[in-house]
Amino acid sequence: MATIHISVPAQAEYVGLVRSTSAHVAAQCDLTMDQIEDLRLAVNEAFAFLVDPTSDSNIDITFVVDGSTLSITLKSSHTAQEPDRNSFGWTVLSALVNEVASSRNEHGRIIIELTAMAGVSA
């Protein structure tokens, strides 16, 4: 099992860095090219939910590679809105990865968790 943490400002221009890191990490766990492309789009959408141009806070991203499963957790460090399950972004997100969940933790931070599994199509 490998764990990677990155933390980037909650600004739209950092989405490329997160997307790129996701693709490189995904290559460690036998995901197919199609899944990696989907994952990159999914990370884009998830990051977009947490972006806050008015704040100077960070988004913490944790990648966990466990065998053929990759989990990506994005945590906003400000009190963002919880993603709307009926929004287009969420519909897209759900279609792109095997599992997606969002919650608010005890500190009021929004957490979005994406899971992609090798050999299982989304």
Partner 1 sequence: MPEADSRHHDREMLEQLAALDANSPEREALRAALIERHLPLVHFLARKFMDRGEPLDDLVQVGTIGLIKSIDRFDPSMGFEFSTFATPTIVGEIKRHFRDKTWAIRIPRRLQELGVQVSKAREELTHALDRSPTPAEISKKLDIDVSEVIEAIEANSAYNTVSIDGGNAEDSPSLGDTLGAWDDALDNVEYRESLKPLIAAMDEREQTILLRRFFDNKSQSEIAAELGISQMHVSRILNKTLTQLREALSS
Residues that bind partner 1 (CB under 8 A): 20, 23-24, 27, 30-38, 40-41, 44-45, 48, 84, 86-89, 91-92, 95, 118, 121
Which lies closer to partner 1 via its Cβ, residue 28 or residue 103? 28
Burial, 60: exposed, middle or buried (Cβ in 10 Å; 0-12, 13-18, 19+)?
middle
For the CB of residue 59, give the shortest distance to partner 1 in the complex, in Å: 16
Cα–Cα distance, 44 to 16 (Å, whole number): 8
For the CB of residue 10, give the shortest distance to partner 1 in the complex, in Å: 14
Give SS3 for 101: strand
